[in-house]
């Protein structure tokens, strides 16, 4: 069915936890009000970080036949926004608020050929797509890349299911993926679905845009969680409102400003819509643009920043930025 993205909250009970790769845990969550998860859908859930409830999104890897149980997989990032650590502390029997599956990344049937590209934990958004394409006898190639073999979730299972349709690349085995190799499998009738780290997705997007391919055939999803640099602590000032805050490694600018009591405009919180835009008055350091709202040249201009996902990195000392908000 076509995309549905109505948010319906329900209770979820953790009924299974298992390690599926280095720092990656799989959780089976039982829905109190079961709804169907289409390929590409995700759930939002509320995790508690330092006593505060924070919302996070995770792709649905698999659903049980009776629709009750959803599988998600979470990569623990020590210096990320903190949600993954809280998730890894969950155990069987724990309950949390979850949405019914939300679809913002629908797989369209009927294309002549498909290329799927998963990077690291991004595989969670792609597994079900691949399964459905296989089931429907579609012509597809599934590229799966990771830093190391140990860090690959579901690799053995995917190999046995997809056989030669699956192509695995592992960075630390001198087997790094060249985007050009992926593009060899892409022609005008191909739809490319990808989910992975920002470096990979950005390169594919730029490569795609430099060809005469139809850019709407490149489908991707980003939760704004991945950046060009490791997260670090930096300072944000909003002179108009007399605010100065320190943004922690596990926080976004929007979250830090909200925590200081400021009323900040933001909506998607994954770097897509542009509502959280701020104008840059002064900058000390580099911006790690993590959004997909600004174009490449807008990002290099450094006049505006998407505060819901983008961060700062220091040239030396602590980076800081002065912003004007809407």
Partner 1 sequence: MPATNLGSTTTTKITNFPLNAWYVAAWDHEVTRTPLARRICDRPLALYRTEDGQPVALADACWHRLAPLSLGKVVGRDGIQCPYHGIVYNSAGRCVSMPAQETINPSATVPSFPAVSRYRFIWVWLGDPALANPDLIPDMHQMDHPDWAGDGKTIHAECNYQLIVDNLMDLTHEEFVHGSSIGQAELSEADFITTHGENTVTVTRWMRNIDPPPFWKKNLADKFPDYTGKVDRWQIIHFEAPSTVCIDVGVAKAGTGAPEGDRSQGVNGYVMNSMTPETDRTAHYFWSFQRNYRLESQLITTQLREGVTRVFGEDEVMLRAQQEAIDANPDYEFYNLNIDAGGMWVRRLLEKALLAEGRLNTRPEAGWPAE
> Where does this chain bind partner 1 (CB under 8 A)?
1-6, 8, 34-36, 38, 66-67, 100, 104-106, 108-110, 132, 136, 215-216, 219-222, 268, 272-274, 292-295, 297-298
Distance, in Å, from the CA atom of 195 to the CA atom of 182, rounded to the nearest integer, reads 14
Q: What is the dihedral sign for C-alpha 76, 59, 112, 140?
A: positive
Instruction: Tell me whether residue 142 or residue 294 sits nearer to partner 1 (CB atom).
Output: 294
Nearer to partner 1, 129 or 254 (CB): 129
| 306: Cβ contacts below 8 Å, ≥ 6 apart | 271, 274, 276, 277, 289, 290, 291, 293, 294
CB of 3 to partner 1, least distance (A): 6
**Which of 227, 5, 226, 213 has the alpha carbon at shortest distance from 105?**
5
- CB 273 → partner 1: shortest distance, Å? 6
Nearest-approach distance from CB 173 to partner 1, in angstroms = 31
Q: Which is nearer to partner 1, 47 or 129 (CB)?
A: 129
**Pairing outcome for strands 113-119 and 41-49:** unpaired
Residues contacting residue 250 through CB under 8 Å, at least 6 positions apart: 49, 79, 80, 81, 82, 231
Between 136 and 150, name the residue whose CB sits nearer to partner 1. 136
The nearest distance, CB 225 to partner 1, in angstroms, is: 15
Cβ-based nearer residue to partner 1, 110 or 317: 110
Q: At what angle do helices 155-162 and 127-135 cross, to 10 degrees?
A: 20
Q: How far is the CB of 117 from partner 1 (least distance, A)?
A: 14
Least separation, in Å, of the C-beta of 16 and partner 1? Answer: 20
Centroid of chain to Cα 165: 24
CB-CB contact of 276 with 307 (8 Å): yes
Residue 209 Cβ vs partner 1, minimum distance, rounded to whole Å: 10
Q: Minimum distance from CB of 279 to partner 1 (Å)?
A: 15
Residue ranges of E strands in 239-310: 243-247, 277-284, 286-288, 304-306
Q: Which of 52, 61, 43, 49 is nearest to 98 (CA)?
A: 43
Point out which residues pair with 17 in neighbouring strands: 27
- Between CA 217 and CA 186 the distance in angstroms is 10
> Which of 34/280 has CB closer to partner 1?
34
Q: Which is closer to partner 1, CB of 101 or CB of 120?
A: 101
Q: Give the Cβ contact number of residue 137 at 10 Å.
A: 7
Closer of 264 and 306 to partner 1 (Cβ): 306
């Amino acid at each position: 069915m076509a995309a549905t993205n109505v948010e319906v909250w329900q209770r979820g009970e953790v009924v299974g936890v298992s390690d599926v790769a280095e720092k990656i845990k799989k959780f089976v969550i039982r829905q109190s009000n079961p709804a169907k998860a289409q390929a590409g859908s995700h759930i939002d859930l509320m995790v508690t970080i330092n006593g505060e409830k924070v919302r996070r999104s995770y792709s649905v890897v698999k659903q049980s036949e009776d629709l009750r149980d959803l599988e998600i997989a979470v990569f623990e990032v020590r210096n990320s926004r903190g949600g993954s650590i809280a998730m890894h502390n969950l155990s069987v029997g724990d309950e949390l608020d979850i949405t019914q599956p939300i679809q913002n990344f629908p797989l369209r049937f009927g294309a002549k050929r498909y290329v799927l590209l998963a990077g690291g934990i991004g595989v969670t958004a792609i597994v079900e797509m691949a399964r459905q394409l296989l089931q429907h006898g579609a012509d597809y190639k599934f590229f799966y890349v990771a830093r190391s073999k140990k860090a690959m979730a579901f690799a053995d299972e995917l190999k046995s299911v997809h056989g030669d349709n699956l192509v695995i690349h592992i960075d630390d085995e001198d087997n790094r993926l060249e985007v050009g190799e992926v593009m060899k499998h892409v022609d005008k009738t191909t739809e490319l679905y990808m989910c992975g780290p920002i470096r990979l997705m950005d390169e594919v997007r730029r490569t795609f845009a430099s060809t005469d391919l139809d850019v709407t055939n490149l489908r991707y999803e980003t939760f704004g969680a991945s950046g060009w640099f490791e997260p670090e602590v930096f300072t944000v000032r909003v002179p108009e409102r007399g605010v100065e805050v320190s943004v922690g490694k596990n926080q976004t600018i929007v979250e830090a400003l909200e925590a200081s009591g400021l009323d900040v405009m933001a909506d998607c919180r994954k770097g897509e819509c542009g509502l959280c835009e701020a104008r840059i008055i002064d900058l000390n350091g580099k911006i790690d643009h993590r959004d997909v709202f600004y174009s490449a040249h807008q990002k290099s201009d450094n006049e505006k920043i998407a505060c819901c996902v983008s961060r700062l990195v220091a040239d030396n000392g602590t980076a800081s930025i002065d912003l004007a908000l809407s």
